[in-house]
Structure 1
Amino acid sequence: MPPRLRKLIGTILIIILVLVYALVATTIASLTLGTSPWWVHMLYFLFSGLLWILPAMLIIKWMEKPAKPRE
């Protein structure tokens, strides 16, 4: 796969990941953290705010793979 196409696909995947992840994280927070103390909210949003980075790193790693040489 050409590197430009891989980067385009990766960029689209990261945008989709961020949108879906934000919706899911916010939905979970609104359903479960309603009466929790402030520090539980802070821990949840700290954890969920950093968790999306792991799949994004995998996508970026895939995007940056060198192209296979043609034979």
Structure 2
Amino acid sequence: MPVRLKKLIGTVLLVALVIIYALLATTIAIVHLSQSSTWVHLLYFLVTGVLWVLPAMFIIWWMAQPPRPKRR
């Protein structure tokens, strides 16, 4: 796959990941944590704020891989 196409796909995936993850994490917080204490909110948002990095790292790693040599 050409490098430019791979980077375009990776960029679209990263933007979609951030938007979907933020909406999902916020919806879960609103539905399940509405009556929780401040410390539970803090812990939840600390964990979910860092957790999105794992799939993002995989996407960035995939984008940075050099193209495979073509077989003959």
**What TM-score results when the alignment is normalised by the length of structure 2?**
0.94
Query: SS of the residue aligned with 1:60?
Result: helix
Deviating above 6 A after TM superposition, structure 1's stretches of 4 or more consecutive aligned residues are none
Structure 2 gap segments, 5+ residues each: none
Give runs of aligned pairs for residues 1-71 of structure 1, distance below 5 A: 1-71=1-71
User: 61-70 or 3-12: which moved more?
Assistant: 61-70
Report how many residues are paired. 71
CA drift at 1:68: 1.5
SS of residue matched to 1:22? helix
The alignment-based identity, stated in percent, is 59
Instruction: Return the TM-score normalized by structure 1.
Output: 0.96
SS of equivalent residue, structure 2 residue 67: coil
Residue 70 of structure 1 deviates from its aligned partner by 3.4
Question: What is the alpha-carbon root mean square deviation over aligned residues?
Answer: 0.8
